[in-house]
Amino acid sequence: MKKIELDIIALSHNITQTHSYAVVLGESNGLRRLPIVIGGCEAQAIAVTLEKMQPSRPLTHDLMKNFMNAFGINLHEIIISDLQEGIFYSKLICTSDNDTVEIDSRTSDALALAIRFGCPIYTYENILESAGILMEDTPPGKKKKTKSESKEKTTSGNGDLKTMTLEELNQLLNEVLENEDYIRAIAIRDEINNRKKK
């Protein structure tokens, strides 16, 4: 299976749901985004490194990196390898002088380690196809909505997703993506995918 490289695009917090965050991964040479819901602790572990903050004592993922370095183990890459019932599964591909080993990992932990090691993040086409969101490229000359314009429309169009038409869902999805509300986008994407399966 061909691997698709991803970059961390954003870390988003949902104001309406306490301790609910999404890390948004973007296709390196494409317009698709892969939002993954993670917990508050994992979001903090990712944010600390993204913001180049230096905690006074090592966090768990820093300790893991130090441990791996001490024993000559390098994190070569991570692969988001599976998606089952809305849960992403990942593998750490670790290398040493003698061996290469795959280790099962929660995706949030894998991402926290990947940014510490500076290693690439990959997934497969079938995962991007089922859980990814396609960002529309704004054509030249067309004005992109401001966040306040988009927010107005998004909050007024927050009716029950099940009562909306597929066209309305796609329009709402574009609006919440412009507003960078990735957690709401996940719910809309899931509703669209459920309808396509039927």
Q: Give tens-digit pLDDT for 2-25.
A: 899 999 998 887 655 556 788 999
Look at residue 40 in the predicted model and tell me its pLDDT: 85
Task: Decide: helix, strand or coil at residue 78.
Answer: strand
> What ranges in 40-103 are assigned the alpha helix state H?
40-50, 60-70
- The DSSP-derived string for 113-180 is HHHHHT--EEEEHHHHHHH-EEPPPPPTTPPPPPHHHHHHHHHHT-S-GGGS-HHHHHHHHHHHHHTT
Determine the average pLDDT of the residues in 102-120: 96
Chain centroid to CA 141: 30
Look at residue 150 in the predicted model and tell me its pLDDT: 36
Residue percentage of the chain with pLDDT more than 90: 43
pLDDT digits (tens, 9 = 90+) for 123-169: 999 999 999 988 876 444 444 333 333 333 333 344 588 888 888 88
Tokens of 72: 């000559």
For the chain, the structural domain boundaries read 3-131, 141-197
What kind of architecture, by CATH, is found in domain 3-131? Answer: Roll (3.10)
Q: Are 78 and 89 in contact (CB under 8 A)?
A: no
Indicate the pairing of strand 32-38 with strand 100-106: unpaired
Indicate the pairing of strand 87-95 with strand 32-38: unpaired
Chain centroid to CA 1: 21
Look at residue 152 in the predicted model and tell me its pLDDT: 36
Neighbours of 193 (CB within 10 A): 12
